[in-house]
Structure 1
Amino acid sequence: MTGRGAAVLLVAVATTASLIVSAPATNDDPALPPPAPAAAPAAPPPPPPTADEVAARIESVIVLIDAGHGWTGVAGTGVVLTADGSVLTNHHVVSGALDIRAVSPATGLIYDVDVLGYDRDRDIAVLGLGAAHDLPVATLADAPPAIGAPVTAFGNADGGGVVVAAPGTVVAHGRDVVVRDSGDGSRHRLTGMLQTDAAIRPGDSGGPLVDAYGAVVGINTAGAVGPDDAEGPGAAQSASETTPEAYAVPIADALAVVDQVRSGVSTDSVHVGPTPLLGINVTTARGGGTSRGAEILWVSYGTPAYRAGLESGDVVVAFDGSPVTSTADLEDHLSRRAPGDRVRIDWRDESGSLHTADLVLDSGPVR
């Protein structure tokens, strides 16, 4: 036998003459190894911190984001990943922003923000805080929480400029949900989400969802008001809802975007660095039941597309020689480019005539 406090066995050996009983083995017998030490009992896990202690920790490792869009702005939240100011937030928080600022709720320090990269499909953006140093950083969870585990969402609820906690529990893993952006009304599908019943509100987007110990398990992204009329990422619950419904990007998925951004290499979905500007707003053109390109809704004055002669109603059909059959195709091509790149655009006007132009991409806001 092995393990704790194993007893010494007495071994009986039978002979034809008599029964000889061996003496108990001792540690003094050089022929025998010493007994194994008893295993120490496992230390119990530390008790979880109080809700106030978790809130104090989280307040020091997040920033409140103000993304300016000219006369308007979008409030959001970010999670500090590195001492020199790398921050995680949602793509929809900074999409279209002309000026982005972040403030630490713990210190009151205000930072200019650069967008280092983003993934539209997973709704994740990586930011850099200008002149940041020696910042406290968030603790990240090693594994997703179990269904039913307690969690708390933290963020800049309703853009009030203070950190608000929304406790809840994990409802499901791997959920897919269609959300609508409250800014432009566009809809898109988020996949593999962590569902909770935390009552998140507008402004919580990009903030941390944490476990009972304050480790970040996800990035708060969307709250629903109904199956068909959700107000979009970070939307508040309607008064008629009895059980809040919220979704967060699992932290492992968010960190995969961070790793891609740090690699410095753009992919079809992850754009790294400043955003290139073509200067058109498009929708997928359809005809005969199939998509046939990216139809231009409008062209911004003074942009590369404007200077090249593209107009509303034109349909972009190729980008640098590669076919464009939809808005997604055009976005994928642009995600791999940078401001200053020279590209060739092919398009058809409303009469069906084909045109081609070479142009140089400008720098613009996050798309």
Structure 2
Amino acid sequence: MNEGRQGCASGLVVVAAAVALAVFLLRPLLDHGTEDVQAAPQPTVTQTKPGKPSGRRPGVVNIDTEQGFRMIRAAGTGIVLDASGLVLTNNHVIQGATSIKGTDTDNHRTYTARVIGYDKSGDIALIKLATSTRLKTAVIGDSTKVSEGDLVTAVGNAGGKGGNPTVVTGAVTALEQEITASDSTDGSSERLTGLIETNAPIQPGDSGGPLLNTSGQVIGMNTAASSGFRMNHTGGHRGYAITSARAIEVVRQIQRGQTTATIHIGPTAMLGVQVRTPTTKSGGRANGAYIASTLSGTPAETAGLRPGTTIIALDDQPVDSPGTLTDLLLRHRPGDTVRLTLTTPTGNQTVTPLTLADGPPQ
């Protein structure tokens, strides 16, 4: 990805920025052509409700991020929930971001944004555009009334090109779908459930954008796969959307300040290591989070953590994988002191106290 604007970069990189490791689930930008509206493949199911594709509706934001620890840019889409600038998007759109900007596609103004909270396992995030007022909002529909065969419209920042959103149409091909979003870098994966499947040609950059019914109401939030972050599901390539009911449920929890095992609210703690799954001498997988490198100026470097060391516990809680380390760190805040249990390359165990810093979202 050598484009000037590098969006949704492929692969999930565990960078222990943002909570001791920053897991970047981003999509590569693709050339989407010059058309704003594309014809969708013919539905393969019988249409159950009359109507026409809704076309573009208000309340769409183009999101651009910078990932300072990786020196790349990324792009995605968001949905305006209220006039003051609360925006719903996919977590992978803002994951690892050290800077976030949102451009409202109705007034064409660009705002800086901050993360309010996110659900990493559900790929849902809530951000706030600063100093924004009187924005046009999307209309949230009832996703429980969606049926197979319904005509739908997907709107988004396809290819990360910015400007007016791209609009594509299609039909709902299945409901209550489950997919495994897997990373080819470290073998980690997330299971996304209850999804709407559609044949609308959703592309990288559309992630976080609205899936609309024929009345122009948001019934889902689109998500897209990439070369490094793959969504595996039987039946060939399809587009998938998180239901509006599930997304709004998480948004309400975040607004109430309701932290859970999967929902993180507020600043994210950072350790400052790049980690991967350790291997045995025979080449098999081992338990722990193997430190591949440390980031300059971070708590990990200050504490003297070295590449080749494996983290096996945090505050006496076992760490059996990089994903477990992420989950444990998401329970903490910047400024917290934690105890890391480490195995050195020679096999010795040591315990190191470390104070977590402020990092990008996970």
TM-score relative to the length of structure 1: 0.76
Structure 2 matches for 1:144-183, cutoff 5 A? 144=144, 145-161=146-162, 162-179=164-181
Gaps of at least 5 residues in structure 2 are 1-49
Partner of 1:195: 197
- Residues 108, 141 of structure 1: alpha-carbon distance in 2 compared, 3 angstrom cutoff: same
Partner of 1:263: 256
- Residues 233, 260 of structure 1: alpha-carbon distance in 2 compared, 3 angstrom cutoff: farther
Q: 1:344 is matched with which residue: 332, 339, 347? A: 339
Residue 63 of structure 1 aligns to a residue whose secondary structure is strand
Q: Give the distance between the partners of 1:181 and 1:317, measured in 2 at CA.
A: 22
Partner of 1:212: 214
1:279 aligns with 2:272: yes
Partner of 1:20: none
Residue 313 of structure 2 aligns to a residue whose secondary structure is strand
Residue 257 of structure 1 aligns to a residue whose secondary structure is helix
Q: What RMSD in Å do the two structures reach over aligned CA positions?
A: 2.7
1:322 aligns with 2:317: yes
1:61-91 residue CA offsets vs partner (Å, 9 max, x unmatched): 1111111224531111100112211111111
Q: Give the distance between the partners of 1:167 and 1:200, measured in 2 at CA.
A: 9
Are the equivalent residues in 2 in contact too, given 1:92–1:233 (CA < 8 A)?
no
1:294-337 residue CA offsets vs partner (Å, 9 max, x unmatched): 21121112211111121112111111222222222211111111
Which stretch of structure 1 is more off in the superposition, 296-305 or 65-74? 65-74
TM-score relative to the length of structure 2: 0.77
**Counterpart amino acid of 1:262?**
Q
Partner of 1:103: 103
1:334 aligns with 2:329: yes
Partner of 1:21: none
Partner of 2:137: 137
**Counterpart amino acid of 1:148?**
G
Gaps of at least 5 residues in structure 1 are 1-46, 225-229, 235-242
Are the equivalent residues in 2 in contact too, given 1:221–1:233 (CA < 8 A)?
no
**Counterpart amino acid of 2:287?**
R
Q: If you compute each CA radius of gyration, which structure gives the higher value, 1 or 2?
A: 1
Deviation (angstroms), 1:160: 1.9
Deviation (angstroms), 1:180: 5.2
**Counterpart amino acid of 2:213?**
D
- Residues 318, 184 of structure 1: alpha-carbon distance in 2 compared, 3 angstrom cutoff: closer
Q: Give the distance between the partners of 2:141 and 2:336, measured in 1 at CA.
A: 40
Deviation (angstroms), 1:185: 9.1
Which stretch of structure 1 is more off in the superposition, 97-106 or 130-139? 130-139
Deviation (angstroms), 1:266: 2.7
1:360 aligns with 2:355: yes
Identity %: 40
Q: How many residues align?
A: 305
Q: Give the distance between the partners of 1:299 and 1:334, measured in 2 at CA.
A: 16
Residue 285 of structure 1 aligns to a residue whose secondary structure is coil
Residue 292 of structure 1 aligns to a residue whose secondary structure is coil
Q: Give the distance between the partners of 1:181 and 1:152, measured in 2 at CA.
A: 28
Q: Give the distance between the partners of 2:228 and 2:214, measured in 1 at CA.
A: 29
Deviation (angstroms), 1:217: 0.8
Higher RCO (CA 8 Å, separation ≥ 6 residues):
2
Q: Give the distance between the partners of 2:285 and 2:258, measured in 1 at CA.
A: 32
Are the equivalent residues in 1 in contact too, given 2:105–2:165 (CA < 8 A)?
yes
Q: Give the distance between the partners of 1:68 and 1:364, measured in 2 at CA.
A: 13
